[in-house]
Amino acid sequence: MQEANKFYSDYGKRCGFGIQTRTSKKDDNNEELRLVCSREGKYVSSIRPEVKTLPSQTNQCPAGVTITRKDDKWFVRIVVLDHNHELCPQTSNLIRANRKLNMHAKHTLEVNDDVDVRINKSFLSMVGEAGGYENMQFMERDARNFIGQHRRSLCKEGDSQVLLRHF
């Protein structure tokens, strides 16, 4: 199951689309895993397409792979390769499902934040280190979100240490 997920994720990155995982368990011996295009969703906007400035995030794309487990054996049941939208392999690493902060980036952001280096400066230094924006695996917003989570966790740790000292 994990191998199929990794394979389809890598395929999506190469082709220029993100993936979502759908699982269902029928009983102890039967299980189904659907790996679908991230634009597979059911959302339908109330705004007419002619009025929109940005295309719809989901357009019920049929592309995906369904694998089924029966009695400890996995079978590929359905494969649909055709998408109903444009694919962009050059920017696939910036699709939300494909963006990842690696351990080096997390560590750099944490260390720089601890010494009060602004997030945009940290991000720009990592862009330079990577050789340009096109080589980045995440966006500045992801870095800001990570630092926000890091700061909240530090606050929680600090609060619990203060509480422990009182007892």
Same domain, 92 and 128: no
88 shares its domain with 150:
no
Three-state DSSP state, 37: strand
User: Into how many domains does the chain fold?
Assistant: 2
pLDDT at 55: 54
Same domain? For 84 and 133 the reply is no
Determine, yes or no, domain membership for 63: yes
Residues 67 and 79 in one domain: yes
pTM value surpassing 0.85: no
Contact 119, 105 (CB under 8 A): no
Contact 37, 19 (CB under 8 A): yes
Residue 49 domain-assigned (yes or no): no
Euclidean distance between CA atoms 153 and 159, whole angstroms: 10
In this structure, the answer to whether residues 82 and 36 fall within a common structural domain is: yes
CA distance 83 to 90: 17
Q: pLDDT averaged over the chain?
A: 79
pLDDT attached to residue 23: 77
Tokens of 10: 């890598």
Q: Tell me how far CA of residue 1 lies from CA of 7, 24, 75, in angstroms.
A: 10, 12, 11
- 114 and 165 in a common domain: yes
pLDDT per residue over 64-117, tens digit each? 888 888 887 888 888 888 888 777 776 666 677 678 888 999 999 999 999 999
Domain co-membership, 78 together with 108: no
Whether residues 93 and 17 fall in one domain:
yes
- Which residue has better confidence, 84 or 49? 84
Is the pLDDT confidence value at 126 over 80? Answer: yes
64 and 39 belong to one structural domain: yes
Domain span including residue 86: 1-43+54-98
Can you give the pLDDT at residue 11? 84
Q: Which two tokens stand for residue 130?
A: 């990577």
Q: Is the pLDDT of residue 143 over 50?
A: yes
Give a yes or no: residue 8 inside a domain: yes
Position 130 in a domain:
yes
Shared-domain flag, residues 126 and 157: yes
The span from the CA of 140 to the CA of 10, in Å, is: 23
Contacts of 113 (CB under 8 A, 6+ apart): 119, 122, 147, 150, 151
Helices (H), the chain: 2-15, 103-114, 119-130, 140-166
- Examine the domain organization and report whether 159 and 111 are in the same domain: yes
Structure tokens of 160?
A: 């619990």
Amino acid sitting at position 29: N
Task: Let me know if residue 48 belongs to a domain.
Answer: no
Q: Are residues 119 and 39 in the same domain?
A: no
Nearest to 67 by CA among 32, 109, 38: 32
